[in-house]
Structure 1
Amino acid sequence: MKRVGWTVLIFCIVSLAAMPVYASNHTTIKDWSEINELTSEIWELGKIERYNEAADVLEFTSENITHIEDVLSLRPDQQRLVEYTFSDAITSLQNPEWTKEKKLNKLTEVRLLVDALQTNYEPLWKKTGLMMLEPFITMEKEIGDQNSTAFHQAANLLLERYETVRPALMVDLSPDKIEKLDEHVSYVDTNRIKILTDAEHQKHLEAAAADFEALFFAKKDNSEPSLFWLIFSIGGIISSTLFYVGWRKYKGDKEEELRVPGKR
């Protein structure tokens, strides 16, 4: 899947179809539910390229979040993160040189961040797992095919997607985990040529992929081969999504057989 696939998936994740306009119904914001409504509206406005209106709703939401900081129980670092993410998104909407995709990515940052602050169960960023892993799979495939252009495109995609998800991760993960992920992404970016040609650097790529896999998906039994190791070992994988779903179904069937003796 290419960049269009990322935008489509994010659209499904945040469930923004046919959202009504909420900003006109609010003079102040009182709780997280209203903030969620507004960030959903903002994304929808961006999708149909009504950037000025989206920026206005963003500014309205940001100002109100600042006013009710005590109600939302934001820590100082979270407050700064919200202010920066909202401000960055507003700037992107007001920049005529930015593409629609880049602007939507910035609005997605806002949506995922607000959701992470609001919920303690199954945050939306968890649902971006396959799209975060896809650049790793593509890079590994292009190493085998010796396609440096496609490899660099996949590396760029990793940077772009990680930037989109990172604010939400900062809410839910410890600083040590964020630092480790940052190091992985930075390593891939600064050592592209070496990764393409050197086996030792390729091991670092595999380690980074494994850590992202562990973050976005359930912890695996150590006795089982890594999902990424299987994918990297099988040539010609076109759809990592279908492969992953099939692998999960196979694992579930095996577990069911163990629970129910004699089941076929």
Structure 2
Amino acid sequence: MKSKLWIVIFLCFLLLATNASANDDSSPIDQLNALSDEALQLTKSQRYEDAKKILETFSDKFSSVTIKESTFTMDELRIVTIAHNEAVEATTNVSMNPDERINRVTKFRLVIDAISSTKHPLWTKMEEPILAIFDDVKEAAFNGDQEAFHKSLNSFLSLYEVINPSMKLDVSPERFQKLDTRINFIDHYRQDILTQQNSMKELLILETDLQSIFDLETDETDPSLWWVIISTGSIIIVTLSYVGWRKYVGEKEKRKNRSR
């Protein structure tokens, strides 16, 4: 229930935060971003046929942009394609419940925003609901409340599934894989988490990983770039030291010559 409430709150934020428009003056990626948002708003209103048409328009435009410009990496193309297919299914599968439909189109919306945003992508706004629900998971585990634990963990996994693809686009592969592996471990061995005291430490470690994953500033510098910075800085320091030493020796020689 809490996961549904947080998703509703987050969708309201999306409605207020987005100001993208698909006019002729905007860039192709901005137009794609606007289309993804429009599809989400229509899905929320249960206008599934209209949302499907917008997704078809998105597909045509995305293909055109991909052919004309080498804007997207292979990973981005793969993630967008999967998210788009899931969103289309959400608008056409009449047996799917409305909440799941919204979740899938929201996932697609966040993926497109992650590609178009250079700073503060929308998926990072999910930090508070993710951590709030995880607090419920942790509390239920520590209290040994099996029913509450499974319910809270399922809610957490549901929210995590919504932001997983967009997170993957922005977070380094090493950090993402570490977080994803730990979450899958806890899901797979959920019964052990309840019965084994040492296993509960996994929850505390995961909480730390979750808190750090939303801070994009600490992670996104390429290690090779750090090597260039360090090596270049070292060369500059050595050069300046050598120049200073030569200057010192020259001044010392001048003083000796004057004393003679």
Same fold at TM > 0.5: yes
Aligned CA distance change for structure 1 residues 54 and 218 (closer, same or farther; 3 Å): closer
Match of 2:29 among 19, 22, 32: 32
Q: Deviations over 1:95-126 (max 9, x none)?
A: 11211111111111111111110111111111
Cα offset, 1:44, TM superposition: 0.8
Match of 2:147 among 139, 146, 149: 149
Distance 1:15 1:215 in 2: 25
The answer to whether the 8 A contact 1:31-1:72 is kept is: no
1:7 aligns to what?
7
The answer to whether the 8 A contact 2:140-2:148 is kept is: yes
2:59 aligns to what?
62
1:233 aligns to what?
none
Q: Deviations over 1:140-196 (max 9, x none)?
A: 111233221111011111221111101111211122122112111101111111111
Letter paired with 2:40: W
2:101 aligns to what?
103
Higher helix share: 2
Provide the TM-score with structure 2 as the length reference. 0.76
Counting only pairs closer than 5 Å after superposition, residues 127-206 of structure 1 correspond to structure 2 as 127-206=125-204
Distance 1:219 1:34 in 2: 27
RMSD of the TM alignment (CA)? 2.6
Segments of 5+ residues of structure 2 without an aligned counterpart are 219-260
Letter paired with 1:129: E
Aligned CA distance change for structure 1 residues 19 and 47 (closer, same or farther; 3 Å): farther
Segments of 5+ residues of structure 1 without an aligned counterpart are 221-264
Aligned CA distance change for structure 1 residues 47 and 11 (closer, same or farther; 3 Å): same
The answer to whether the 8 A contact 2:137-2:152 is kept is: yes
1:122 aligns to what?
120
Match of 1:3, SS state, is helix
Match of 2:81 among 75, 83, 86: 83
Q: Aligned residues, how many? A: 216
Letter paired with 1:184: R
Match of 2:71 among 73, 79, 82: 73
Distance 1:19 1:52 in 2: 23
Distance 1:160 1:147 in 2: 20
Match of 1:15, SS state, is helix
Higher Rg of the two aligned structures: 2
Distance 1:49 1:72 in 2: 35
The answer to whether the 8 A contact 1:19-1:40 is kept is: no
Distance 2:69 2:122 in 1: 23
Distance 1:206 1:60 in 2: 45
The answer to whether the 8 A contact 2:3-2:158 is kept is: no
Match of 2:49, SS state, is helix
The answer to whether the 8 A contact 2:32-2:61 is kept is: no
Match of 2:69, SS state, is helix
Distance 1:18 1:109 in 2: 15
Cα offset, 1:63, TM superposition: 2.3
Aligned CA distance change for structure 1 residues 219 and 57 (closer, same or farther; 3 Å): closer
1:254 aligns to what?
none
The answer to whether the 8 A contact 1:139-1:155 is kept is: yes
